[in-house]
Amino acid sequence: MKRAVLLVTCVFPAVLLANPALAQDLQTRPVTPPPPSATPSAPDDQVQFTATNLEYDSKEDIVTATGDVRMYRSGDRLRADTVVWNRKTGKVHASGNIAVVNPGGDTAYGDSIELTDALKDGVVDNMLLVLEKGGRLAARKGTRSLDEVVVLEDAAYTPCAVTASSNCPKEPSWKITAVRVLYRPDRERIYYTGARINLFGLPTLPLPAFSNPVGGGNNSGLLTPDFRYGRVNGFEFAQPYHFALAPNRGLTITPRFFTAVLPMLKAEYQELNTLGAYTITGYATASPRSVDLLTPTPPGTPDSFRGYLDGVGRFQLSPNWSLSGSLRLTTDRTFLRRYDISRDDRLRTTASLQRIDTDSYFAITGWYVQTLRVADRQGLQPIALPEIDYRHRFTDSLLGGTFELQANSLAISRPAGQDTQRAFASARWDLRKLTPWGQEVTFTAFGRGDVYNAKDTLATTVASYRGNEGISARAIGAFAIDVKWPFIGTFLGGTQRLTPRFQVVASPQTTNLAVPNEDARAVDLEDSNLFALNRFPGYDRFEDSTRFTYGVDWAADLPGFSISTNVGQSYRLNNRETLFPDGTGLSGRVSDIVGRTEIRYHDFVSITHRYRLDKSNLAIRRNEVDASVGSRSTYILVGYLRLNRNIDPTLEDLRDREEVRLGARVQVTKFWSVFGSTVIDLTDRNEDPLSLANGFDPVRHRLGFQYEDDCLRLGGTWKRDYQDTGDARAGNSFLLTLAFKNLGR
């Protein structure tokens, strides 16, 4: 009964897809290709022949075979219901359930076929050619020559599926129809004459001269075009062309044309070699450029050259040595945003040479920073060159612990700001033990010596970041004991773990303010650094004095559901003035309370909440929520952050902020979906006196739809930007996406 129903459901699509002339029938034929020869080592000039019935006309020298006829010669093989072989002329005529396979694995089907006894050349009526590397060609008539080149008339090509999940025939998402098609297996390419792309069965784009590769790979040719509209640049059309310079190298040139400004040229070079891979991308154009980023570009501003370089690469020089780097440079601060290339506000160029083995690490690294922020001076941006870092670990050393040595040096220069050089050497010993009662106890001893040299310190506006002019030195030491005591038991059909935790850290007073602070500015107490030996990030500041840190972790794992949470606080013994600014949660003897909670339900719900509560009145100083609800195809994302720390606005790395991020996607049907996202700045002057926000400022949003199956991606997106920066203006932009999958280049 089920089979009958299935057959009936397939009848109507088959009728709808049927073509009276059967000129372009792309559907799979009900014929099994002939299996490989049982004697593959037969001589090339010998034809192997099997059939159910065989008749021989000795007068005309004609062999007629019927019933599952199979012929083999030189890697070519044929299967048909009836084969008539004229041995005088060498002509072979086959009919009925025909399938011919060439040595490359391509299979040709047809109603009838005329070919020579070499089985390499001939003419096929109502031909379907299924390519071994993907895709299929159908034609009213196909001709194959001795060099296996196939010429097809009134033909169609598609790499898409032609059957649905129920095995019923379906119209492919797209196909290319043409008056004449030439398939060159030696070039792995298909050439069209009088072609047109048919989308969802409807003729759309004419392609007078067109070709595409078979099976992907690095091939020269046109890529999918790009269509956009933006308020500033107008309508945009981009047509990339890829040049295959070698199997491992390629260059893609993309001219972009606009209705409101001059064209832009994009070039992307990619290479993969025995050492690694790298990519270099460049943009170049000319357009009016803003000098004052706080006001619109005045009319009549002359065009200036504008561009951007973006490169990334990594090379494995040996099993231990590697070289990596990235390049990001632009001509001005608004170019990337105006042309919708990137929204980064800082560009980092870096290079690093590394050696890594089982117990050691060595790296020489350099950074260059280009700021795109409106109020930042480029001359104050650091150039870190070089940083040299070496670490070596000795396992099973003193008392069975782990001993690690580190040596580090860093030179930072600024064209119009403070210069800093730093060098230090440190040693750390860790010993982890388990007591008979189940406690996990970790002992840590740490010592370090630093030397700094600072120049032009008055150029740093925040006094606590400067350090002393000239050479300064300091010594750092710390000893810590960290105790965890996990309790595990059953809970509601699952398991739960309760882990009280206690830590003691003792460190003598350190002359922190005598040295510059380059890498330890954005300090904030949170769950990730509550039990850290040093709760400052980086190396330039170290938390001294003696403190006790206490907290508890709890987790439960139930069928399909899990929850984990932790909460903690610290207490400092002495009451001398601390390095931590007010509002970081660490400035008093008793710290604020920090915690984190994660909830997961199958793969459907994931919620993470981080918080910090004021120790005095339990006011929320940090409130951060990240949540996702839904499946991979239909979901909603929510992100909320509020930092209410009341920190001095001169500390630019620690400003308060409040924002919400929303995103959603709904799978309407199997292939159609709609999506959207937005970012809203909720910061007001009470939270950040330097902010220009009014408490509810949308930053940007986007809405769109998309169709995607195994062969096609089609969509449209509407984006709106609400912020003006020079010639990068607020406004709407529209993007049309049309990508033909499996088409290659």
Closest CA to 117 of 149, 85, 142: 85
Give residue 465's Cα distance to chain centre. Answer: 37
| pLDDT: which is higher, 418 or 52 | 418
Sign of CA dihedral 387, 388, 393, 399: negative
| Mean pLDDT lowest among 4-8, 181-185, 582-586, 693-697 | 4-8
Q: What is the pLDDT of residue 45?
A: 65
Sign of CA dihedral 683, 685, 535, 512: positive
- Res 676 pLDDT > 60: yes
Q: Are 552 and 503 in contact, with CB atoms under 8 Å apart? A: no
Q: What is the pLDDT of residue 649?
A: 65
Mean pLDDT, rounded, for 734-740: 87
pTM: 0.82
- The token pair that represents 504 in the structure block: 């003691």
- Res 455 pLDDT > 60: yes
Quote the CA–CA distance of 375 and 373 in Å, as a whole number.
6
pLDDT digits (tens, 9 = 90+) for 320-350: 999 999 999 999 999 999 999 998 999 999 9
* Residue 278 DSSP label: E
- Res 292 pLDDT > 80: no
| pLDDT: which is higher, 121 or 309 | 309
3-state secondary structure 357-421: CCCEEEEEEEEEEEECCCCCCHHHCCEEEEEEEEEEEECCCHHHCEEEEEEEEEEEECCCCCEEE
- Res 14 pLDDT > 50: no
| Mean pLDDT lowest among 208-222, 236-250, 473-487, 522-536 | 208-222
- The token pair that represents 10 in the structure block: 């397939």
Distances (CA, A) of 37 to 54, 106, 734: 19, 16, 58
Quote the CA–CA distance of 673 and 706 in Å, as a whole number.
5
Q: What is the pLDDT of residue 23?
A: 55
| pLDDT: which is higher, 215 or 263 | 263
DSSP secondary structure letters along 492-549: TTEEEEEEEEEEEEEE----GGGS--SS--S----TTTTT-S--SSSSS----EEEEE
- Res 6 pLDDT > 70: no
- Res 646 pLDDT > 80: no
- Res 71 pLDDT > 70: yes
Distances (CA, A) of 606 to 559, 560, 639, 662: 15, 12, 12, 15
Q: What is the pLDDT of residue 591?
A: 93
Measured between alpha carbons, how far apart are the two ends of the chain, in Å? 47
Q: How many helices (H) and strands (E) does the chain have?
A: 2, 41
For the chain, give the percent of residues with pLDDT over 90.
51
Closest CA to 164 of 30, 29, 27: 27
Mean pLDDT, rounded, for 219-232: 84
For residue 351, give every residue at least 6 positions away whose Cβ sits within 8 Å of its Cβ, in sequence order, or none: 323, 324, 325, 365, 366
| Phi, psi dihedrals of residue 503, rounded to the nearest 5° | -135, 140
Q: Are 502 and 548 in contact, with CB atoms under 8 Å apart? A: yes
pLDDT digits (tens, 9 = 90+) for 146-199: 778 889 999 999 888 888 777 788 888 888 899 999 998 888 888 998 888 888
